[in-house]
Amino acid sequence: MTLQIESFQEYKKVYKESVEKPEKFWAAQARTFTWMKKWDKVLEWNFKKPDIKWFIGGKLNITENCLDRHLKSRGKQTALIWEPNDPSRPYQSYTYQELYEEVCRFANALKSNGIKKGDRVCFYMPMVPELAIGILACARIGAIHSVVFAGFSANALADRIKDASCKMVVCSDYNSRGAKNIPVKEIVDEALNQGCKSVETVIVHKNTGGAVKMKKNRDKWWHDVLKGQKKECKPAKMDSEDILFILYTSGSTGTPKGVVHTCGGYMVYTCFTFKNVFQYKKGDVYWCTADIGWITGHSYIVYGPLLAGATTIMFEGVPTYPDPGRFWHVCEKHRVNQFYTAPTAIRALMAQGDQWPGHYDLSSIKVLGSVGEPINSEAWHWYDEKIGKGKSPIVDTWWQTETGGILISPLPGLHKLKPCYAQLPMPGIQPCLVDAEGKEIKKKEAEGLLCIKFPWPSMIRTTYGDHERCRQVYFSTFENLYFTGDGARRDKDGHYRIIGRVDDVINVSGHRIGTAEVENAINEHAQVIESAVVGFPHDIKGQGIYAYIITDGPVADKEVFKKEVNAVVTEVIGPIAKPDRIQIVAGLPKTRSGKIMRRILRKVAAGEADQIGDVSTLLNPEVVDSLKEGQKEAL
Ligand code: 7RM
């Protein structure tokens, strides 16, 4: 098993070693896994190209490490607990032996349906056990999974299927989330009608049992393809640098990009960080409330916990259904020891009152985690007092889709906590702050752009089908550094506090949304001439979406217009990208070279127009006053 650090002293020692001799450090971690063939060389890297390779020449299968490896020692231990949306339905659980068998059966079904090593399989599913089984089955046979969050629209799904040329889509009939029933299969059909020529087969998991149309020779039921499949499936021999999965994420420009993670490094890093950040001990029950549609679900519901032989919970529902006590009810019911969620959920539940956690026995909780966005002080303290009862350390974990695993986080019980700080780098992680020119700020106490100087095993390798984009977005801003897109502050003890994105990415309820994507969607509305989207502070969501829109004439009914804009955004991207506020404007502040001055738009949206300062260099300084006026009546 990978190293579990047990004291702050040890952390300091291990960190020092990991930075002085990274290859030795990571080789020692990697050695604790099952390899079909040992690697020849630990690391080769070049941030210019970029070209990053870990455990070169090594052969492995991540599922052999998630499943087979545990069968002897914990075959009867629960691997996965599934808690359904409807609390009156029974929960399900799978032992390691059972999960192993289910994964093998579906892996065989994939093979029977023409899926081979290297093929891309898209998953568009709710949080049901079959989603975890499905992606592990892909990994078992060397197929590449691309999970698309089931809240995205048919349009967004089609774009992602096409970008990765997926050969198969796995979905469910319907998705029940809270009181809603979402016709998942119908959305898939709509997406596939948009020219997804690569898709040969659609496998449909019967979730709610509602009626769906099945297309002949293309659509098959999950339970049918499993018929007669063997409970054993030889794991494919994968190279360390073969692709494990693609996961799409938003950036400041253009369409979402497919972040690529590879087998060897991702395995070593997610297991190592899971064990250390959550201080997981044998027998503990761990729950991460994320959706597998995001990286947090990939790394810390499925791979990290299973690699570490943990018991991991998968939750189908939402925090407020049937009432705002649901999370705490689940914690009590399964005696959860580590609980990992997002600040937006904490704020939403905090707003419902202290009585909800008060109804439940939360004494099993040992560690609390936060991820996805900066956690504000009020939420941190509520989480600490009302959920952790002042005795469960909070780990504020900072990382990204691109980093594959947690890079900066306190280690619970080891580090002295500093509220709202992600604190210190994990072993092997070398963060730095740079100024706008890319010069490293050596002074300890500083604020700057967060970069990473040295590779770590689970870092992004490329953006699928477009390596140049990967270079340009992450490795070209500053020479020889990985640029995170985040700004951060560092205190005199070297602890980091993440401030947030410095690019045109908005973090809405912990979800990354590119302003350009939302603008493109809004511009699809027939009456829209131009739009500009910025983030603004939002009490629950962290950031909300604020859209400035120029229309081709007066808008007759503003409420109808707002509904139409929301509808078009929902259609192009999905409901998560709907603007919270819309301001119809006559013009946008522009520089003489025609660039929109987003800084001004952000200030107006935040109601801080008094801080705008000098606007005389603008091409059209007169619009600023009318923007300020209009903000008060924004829809
Ligand atoms: C894991 C995940 C990444 C962006 C990242 C940050 C923000 C994530 C924290 C955070 C402050 C944190 N992946 N972010 N964690 N900001 N404190 N603990 O969220 O790719 O979807 O988003 O999220 O801006 O760049 S992600």
What number of other Cβ atoms are within 10 A of residue 593's Cβ?
A: 6
Span 277-321, pLDDT tens digits: 999 999 999 999 999 999 999 999 999 999 999 999 999 999 999
* Cα–ligand 1 centroid distance for 233 (angstroms): 37
Predicted pLDDT of residue 172: 98
Cβ of 398 less than 6 Å from ligand 1 = yes
Span 501-535, pLDDT tens digits: 999 999 999 899 999 999 999 999 999 999 999 99
* Cα–ligand 1 centroid distance for 350 (angstroms): 21
Residue 173: both structure tokens together: 């009939």
* Cα–ligand 1 centroid distance for 300 (angstroms): 14
Cβ of 396 less than 6 Å from ligand 1 = yes
Cβ of 372 less than 6 Å from ligand 1 = yes
Under DSSP, the state recorded for 401 is G
Cβ of 512 less than 6 Å from ligand 1 = yes
What does pTM read for this prediction?
Answer: 0.95
pLDDT at 254 over 80: no
Cβ of 296 less than 6 Å from ligand 1 = yes
| Whole-angstrom distance, CA of residue 86 vs CA of residue 344 | 22
Cβ of 87 less than 6 Å from ligand 1 = no
Q: How confident is the model at residue 32 (pLDDT cuts 50, 70, 90)?
A: very high
Cβ of 507 less than 6 Å from ligand 1 = yes
Span 407-452, pLDDT tens digits: 999 999 999 999 999 999 999 999 999 999 999 999 999 999 999 9
Q: How confident is the model at residue 613 (pLDDT cuts 50, 70, 90)?
A: confident
SS (H, E, C) 573-635: CCHHHCCCEEEECCCCCECCCCCECHHHHHHHHCCCHHHCCCCCCCCCCCHHHHHHHHHCCCC
Q: Is the peptide bond before 324 cis (omega within 30 degrees of 0)?
A: no
The atom number, within ligand 1, closest to the CA of 294 reads 21
Cβ of 423 less than 6 Å from ligand 1 = no
Cβ of 369 less than 6 Å from ligand 1 = no
CB 370 within 8 A of CB 387: no
pLDDT above 70 covers what percent of the chain? 100
Tokens 């030889």 correspond to 234
End-to-end CA distance of the chain: 55
* Cα–ligand 1 centroid distance for 158 (angstroms): 26
